[in-house]
Amino acid sequence: MLLDLSSLRKAVQALKQLAERTVNEVELGALDETILIGLQAGVIQHFEFTYELSWKFMQRWIRLNVSPEDADNPRSRKDLFRHAARLGLIEDPARWFSYAEARNLTSHTYDDHAAESVYETAIKFVRDAESLVNELERRND
């Protein structure tokens, strides 16, 4: 059964474009602080959405493509990431653990330091999210 990956691909692309634009503008020093904070908040919001879609698509792919016993094995998100790494969907589950921590941080607190930390994590996440969607597309049969 094929997965419709269009929503994940679109989310990853939107996050990538906004992240690249923000990083470029910051490097050029072309933004005042208010605009910068707004763009960083947008990156964080795109990260939240894309992260949620990413792990849900990992889970869906596993349920569709492995034995029922193995599909039920991931009991936690960390287990899911470890399982996805063993199956070759992602490279390093530890990086995905850090993305989960950053996502949880956005749900429970908001201050300048936390926002900056999550923003930096979101920038790093883009590469792994792209890799995941590419791998899912490659294996989507």
Catalytic residue among 75, 108, 113, 138: 108
Which residue, among 57, 19, 44, has the nearest Cα to 111 in the 3D structure? 44
Asked if 127 is an active-site residue, the reply is no
Q: Taking phi first (over 0 means left), then psi (-120 to 50 degrees means alpha), and beta for anything else, what does residue 90 get?
A: beta
Q: In 29-111, which ranges are continuous DSSP H helix? A: 33-65, 68-71, 77-86, 93-108
Which residue, among 1, 51, 41, 49, has the nearest Cα to 19 in the 3D structure? 41
Catalytic residue among 46, 75, 103, 113: 103
As given in the structure block, the two tokens for residue 51 are 């992260």
Asked if 95 is an active-site residue, the reply is no
Residues marked as catalytic: 103, 108
